[in-house]
Structure 1
Amino acid sequence: MAITVHELNLYSNFEEMANDILQLANEFMPDKLIFLSAMTQTHQLILKVLDDNSGSLIEEGMSVELTGTVCRRVNFAQQRPLIYPDMSKEPCLEEVRDTLREARINSYVGVPIVMPTGDVFGTLCAVHPEAATFDERSVRMFQRIAKMFSYYLDLERMAFRDALTGLYNRQYLFKYFDEQTPASGAVFFLDLDGFKKVNDLRGHEMGDLVLKEVAHRIQAYMANIDGFAVRLGGDEFIIHFSGLTEPDQLGPHAETLIRELSAWNIHLDEFRISVSIGIATYHDEGDKDLKLLIKNADNALYRAKAKGKKTYQYF
């Protein structure tokens, strides 16, 4: 599962590491503007920029739709660099010609930053307003620097991810609430119905497969929603929704999640696996004690179980 920008903000020494990476890259291409970017499904985000007055106009914090970027053309699957010594002579770049002109970019080298898991993170790039040549040694060093950065990211990522499912873990949840929580939101406490029988009768290997599938479905559902999912442990999950506090906002999410997590193939039908959900909300900065929110959501979950499972209750 890809790293998100708000996850990066929790990493230890991210700013220092990113700056060191750019300084190292600058040793091999000292006259270029060098930048680190992250990719989402729709945008490229410029995370860090190092520029020794090259004249190109790229700034930290910029967000560009992928359709208007050159970096989307990088071969992430085969992890190959993309090199344009003179972009004015490239017919394939006609659709982004105006963007390149405005940004004062005419030469470009971009190397992919791909996590050991295969997830795409983004790119390490060097650009300049004029045509330029990029020697093979410098490009190889850019690739090595990008790989070093991916190893750092992976180490940080493992500290905040559940090893089995890839969802965030308890440590991430608590650090997020300590450092980044929105002013209002909701916590969903999810617990699988019928899961214990899977472990008892089919073994923990089958149980792990069920948990992985649950995590996959939750992650797919949350892909375009402002929030994130956590595995607390066992078959317990937390979902945080930013800014949503009203029943008419939260009810449809709960109903959809119950539906998505209660449909299983014939091999698991005998267990009648479903999900019950307890919901707790907070409305301002003084109302976001995470331990209390989890306790309240767990109380609501208990009442959902008591009502016959496969349902949800508010605290």
Structure 2
Amino acid sequence: MVTTFQELQMYKNFDELSSDVLDLAKEILPDQLLYLSSFSDTQQMILKLSNNDTNILITEGLVVNLNETICNRVDFDNKQPLIYEDTRKESSLDDLRNALEEANVRSYLGIPISLMNGERFGTLCAVHDQESQFDKKSVELLQRIVRMFSYYLYLERFAYRDSLTELYNRHYLTKFFEDGSKSAGVLFFLDLDGFKKVNDIHGHDTGDLVLKEVASRLQQYVAEHPKAFAVRLGGDEFLIHLSGLSSQEEMGKQAEYVLKSLSTWDADYQLSASIGIVTYPVNGRDDLQTLLKNADQALYRAKTSGKNTYNFF
């Protein structure tokens, strides 16, 4: 599950701490341009630079396709740094040759940043427009800095994630609305049909597995929709936030897709879902509690009309 840039902006003191990380790294490698990056499944974003006065053409906020970056070659599985003291002498970089020369990158050191659960976060990198030598002690010190940064990321992430499913939690949803959403949005308020029977017959451990699988399916869905995210509100209640749906017809199609994804199970579970749908306009004044109350009413009507369906508020 990817840590989004939107989530990072909610973290307390993220900007200050990332600056501190780069300052410490700069003490170790004073001649290098250092930067922090984060990954999505397909892209890399440059979060923070140690300085902008450099010949290297890398800027804060730059987003590039992950497959076209040198950082994508860092060994996250074994948590090993990637070192190229002279990129021009590396035949393995032939496919990136033009990009590296355009950016004036001659040497590269990439330290993997992983979360406590093993998920890739991004990299701490040092680059230069000349050949460089990276001694073992310097690399080890940078790895220790990265390890401390990972602990911070874990603690912040834990505040905004549901511990069972790793979906966003109610705290994240509240913060999202407190910070203000300038665009219109849609909330799908989901409740599982038949979940209590699963717990009663198969036990709570099985129930937890079902909730994790529901979360996985919702995460797959939102990954296909820009700016969408999924939340576990508690128990077997979930929420999907969507943007860019302008008509009830399109909202209905998306709701039907979600319902279908939650109605097929390999095991002998009589499970489905019901959805209450509520919308809010650009710069809408309805607060989150009002939206959830309205969505809950729509959800109730969906359940009373036969379940495995959706209803608009």
Give the equivalent residue in structure 1 for 2:129: 129
Distance (Å, rounded) in 2 between the aligned partners of 1:266 and 1:79: 37
Specify the alignment match of 2:187 in structure 1. 187
Q: Report what 1:18 is aligned to.
A: 18
SS at match of 2:284: helix
SS in structure 2 at match of 1:132: coil
2:268 partner SS: helix
Cα distance, 1:180 vs structure 2: 4.4
Q: Structure 1 counterpart of 2:232, which letter?
A: R
Who is 2:255 aligned against?
A: 254
Give the residue type in structure 2 aligned to 1:290.
L
Q: Which residue of 2 aligns with 1:280?
A: 278
> Quick check: 77-86 or 197-206, which moved more?
197-206
Aligned structure 1 segments of 4 or more residues deviating by more than 2 angstroms? 51-55
Secondary structure, counterpart of 1:286 in structure 2: coil
Map of 2:309 onto structure 1? 311
- Decide whether the 8 Å contact of 1:245 with 1:283 is kept in 2: no
Q: What does 1:54-133 correspond to in 2, within 5 Å?
A: 54-133=54-133
Which whole-Å CA distance do the structure 1 matches of 2:86 and 2:257 have between them?
Answer: 51
8 Å CA contact 2:36, 2:123 repeated in 1: yes
CA spacing shift, 1:59–1:159, aligned 2, 3 Å: same
2-structure distance, mates of 1:51, 1:88: 24
Supply the distance in 2 between the matched residues of 1:45 and 1:288 (Cα, whole angstroms).
Answer: 33
Q: Is 1:2 paired with 2:8? A: no
Q: Percent same amino acid among aligned pairs?
A: 53
- Over 3 Å counting, the alpha-carbon distance change for 1:180 and 1:144 in structure 2 is farther
Aligned to 1:213: 213
Equivalent residue runs for 1:198-237 within 5 Å: 198-225=198-225, 226-237=227-238
SS of 1:162's equivalent in the other structure is coil
Letter of the 1:77 counterpart = D
CA distance in 2 between partners of 1:77 and 1:140 (Å)? 17
Distance 1:199 1:150 in 2: 36
Instruction: Note the residue ranges of structure 1 that are not aligned, 5 or more in a row.
Output: none
Contact 2:160 / 2:172 at 8 angstroms: preserved in 1? yes
Bigger CA drift: 32-41 or 245-254?
A: 245-254
> Which residue identity lines up with residue 62 of structure 1 in the other structure?
L
Structure 1 counterpart of 2:47: 47
**By how many angstroms is 1:139 displaced?**
0.7
The whole-number CA distance in structure 2 between the counterparts of 1:85 and 1:233 is 50
**RMSD, matched Cα:** 1.2
Deviations 1:101-154 (A, max 9, x none): 111110000010011101100000000000010111111111111111111000
CA distance in 1, matches of 2:137, 2:224: 40
How far, CA to CA, are the matches of 1:206 and 1:224 in structure 2? Answer: 28
Aligned residue in 2 for 1:163:
163
Q: What secondary structure, in the 3-state scheme, does the structure 2 residue paired with 1:27 have?
A: helix
Structure 2 gap ranges (5+): none
- 8 A contact 2:45–2:62 mirrored in 1: yes
CA distance in 2, matches of 1:244, 1:184: 9
Aligned length: 312
1:118 counterpart SS class: coil
Asked if 2 retains the 8 angstrom alpha-carbon contact of 1:31 and 1:54, the reply is no
Matched-pair contact (CA < 8 Å) for 2:2–2:39: no
Distance in 2, matches of 1:117 and 1:184, equals: 34
Give the TM-score, by structure 2 length.
Answer: 0.97
How far the C-alpha of 1:52 sits from its partner, in A, is: 7.2
Q: Distance in 1 between matches of 2:158 and 2:72?
A: 26
1:65 positional shift: 1.0
Q: Deviations over 1:15-54 (max 9, x none)?
A: 0010000001111100000000001111110000012744
Cα distance per residue 1:241-281 (max 9 Å; x no partner): 0232421221121111101101112332xxx1100000000
Distance, in Å, in 1 between the alignment partners of 2:36 and 2:62 is: 11
Q: Rate the CA distance shift 1:104–1:298 in 2: closer, same or farther, 3 A.
A: same
Per-residue displacement from partner, 1:178-220 (whole Å, max 9, x unpaired)?
1142420100100000011111222211111111111111111
